[in-house]
Amino acid sequence: MKALVKDKAEPGLWLRDVPEPAVGPGEVLVRVLRTGICGTDLHIRSWDGWAQQAVRTPLVVGHEFVGDVVEVGRDVTEIAVGDRVSGEGHLVCGKCRNCLAGRRHLCRATVGLGVGRDGAFAEYLALPASNVWVHRVEVDVDVAAIFDPFGNAVHTALSFPLVGEDVLITGAGPIGLMAAAVAKHAGARHVVVTDVNEQRLALARKVGATVALNVAHTSIEDAQRELGLREGFDVGLEMSGNPEALRGMIANLTHGGKIAMLGLPSQEFAVDWARIVMSMITIKGIYGREMFETWYAMSVLLEGGLDLAPVITGRYSHLDFEAAFDDAARGHGGKVILDWAA
């Protein structure tokens, strides 16, 4: 089968012929239809410092996918050939205290699909049935391909009660955009999205942001004044990994405000801890998705009319993967999809 492989410990990805994966007991084989390109895949392609310490070559990359089940292994009972599925890209150990308690998203020994083992940018993917999400309700195939980052957005956005609250989202990348759509859909009052990229801010307006703010020119304080917020934002969703964004968020939160932090800073940095203490701000780190509570919420949100169509801005054949990766790496748009059937 064809797969996108990190073959050599140097920048690049290569479309190669590799053996079809074998299906072990408790696993399913998926014929991949579409995949989404994530920042992780861009890191692996460019072979940056993180990728060099996280990845052993050769590796089939990718973890955002949708496909159809073509074979089920022994002992798989709840999934059938023909099921349309996406998958949880975090493979957990099943043995640690958190796993045994059903808190699989807190596993101490998580392995990433397409990072720590062969991934989804391929014609076929074998995956434990316990990592498979069956789309019981019909979902647009491109949206189904991005359930993984959509799950990051939902996990973050629904970490704290949102109904009637004023929400600040820093970073209008694909995940920030989806979080904005979710926050609005879930009943937030004002959803203010910040970024430094005008094209992404335009997308934020499309998904329903009350205000999309370029923090290179306008301050969050000004936006607050414009909206008549006298006491600050109730909830912050940090989606940029940028130190200035988190500092600005902390400074603009109400007393007792809550921050759900998904953005991954590349290094340590200082924040105003006295403000966090004296304003009694809660900060919660978010990693991945809750298995499978977040997935349930995602499906129901879509069933309830949540529209993610504006977030998908690039569609390419897997044969044009270089152009697709360049598109994603420019960082001007939303999600970029690779079609494995085309």
CB–CB of 4/324 below 8 Å? no
In angstroms, the CA 243 to CA 273 distance is: 14
| Residue indicated by tokens 């959803």 | 191
Question: Are 148 and 46 spatial neighbours (Cβ–Cβ below 8 Å)?
Answer: no
169 is in an annotated binding site: no
- 289 annotated binding-site participant: no
Catalytic residue check, 318? no
Residue 247 annotated as lining a ligand binding site: no
Token pair recorded at residue 65: 């996918």
Question: Which of 5, 76, 91, 172 forms a contact with ligand NAD (CB under 6 A)?
Answer: 172
Cis preceding linkage at 292, omega within 30: yes
Q: Does 35 bind ligand NAD (CB under 6 A)?
A: no
With b for 16 or more beta-carbon neighbours within 10 A and e for fewer, the 76-86 pattern comes to beebeeebbbb
The verdict on 175 binding ligand NAD (CB under 6 A) reads yes
Q: Tell whether 146 is in a known binding site.
A: no
User: What is the smallest separation between the CB atom of 293 and Zn ion, expressed in angstroms?
Assistant: 17
d(CA 124, CA 219): 48
Options 32, 239, 260, 298; binder of ligand NAD; rule CB under 6 A: 239
87 binds, among Zn ion, ligand NAD, none (CB under 5 to 8 A by kind): none
- Minimum Å gap between C-beta 177 and ligand NAD is 7
Q: What does the alpha-carbon distance between residue 166 and residue 168 come to, in Å, rounded to a whole number?
A: 7
Selected binder of ligand NAD within 66, 72, 143, 215 (CB under 6 A)? 215
Q: How far is the CB of 238 from ligand NAD (least distance, A)?
A: 8
For ligand NAD, the binding residue among 15, 54, 106, 196 (CB under 6 A) is 196
Pairing of strands 233-238, 167-170: parallel
Q: How far is CA 134 from the centre of its chain?
A: 18
Minimum CB distance to Zn ion, residue 91 (Å): 10
Alpha-carbon distance of 151 to 288, in angstroms, equals 7
Taking the complex as a whole, how short is the minimal distance between the CB of residue 23 and ligand NAD, in angstroms? 28
Q: Which is nearer to ligand NAD, 69 or 168 (CB)?
A: 168
Contact present, 45 and 12 (Cβ < 8 Å): yes
Task: Using the rule CB under 6 A, give the single segment among 27-35, 167-175, 302-310, 318-326 that binds ligand NAD.
Answer: 167-175
E-only strand ranges, 160-252? 167-170, 191-195, 211-214, 233-238
Q: How many CB atoms lie within 10 A of CB 130?
A: 16
Is 155 annotated in a binding site? The answer is no
176 binds ligand NAD (CB under 6 A): yes
Position 263 contacts ligand NAD (CB under 6 A): yes
Tokens of 288: 């991945």
Q: SS3 for 125?
A: strand
43 tagged catalytic: yes
Tokens 């909206």 correspond to 227
Among 36, 288, 314, 333, binds ligand NAD (CB under 6 A): 288
Is 93 a known ligand-binding residue?
yes
Q: Which spans of this chain sit near ligand NAD (rule: CB under 6 A)?
A: 39, 152, 170-176, 194-197, 200, 215, 239-242, 244-245, 262-264, 286-288, 331
**Binding-site entries:** 38, 63-64, 93, 96, 99, 107, 175, 195, 200, 262-264, 286-287
**Binding-site entries for Zn(2+):** 38, 63-64, 93, 96, 99, 107
**Binding-site entries for NAD(+):** 175, 195, 200, 262-264, 286-287
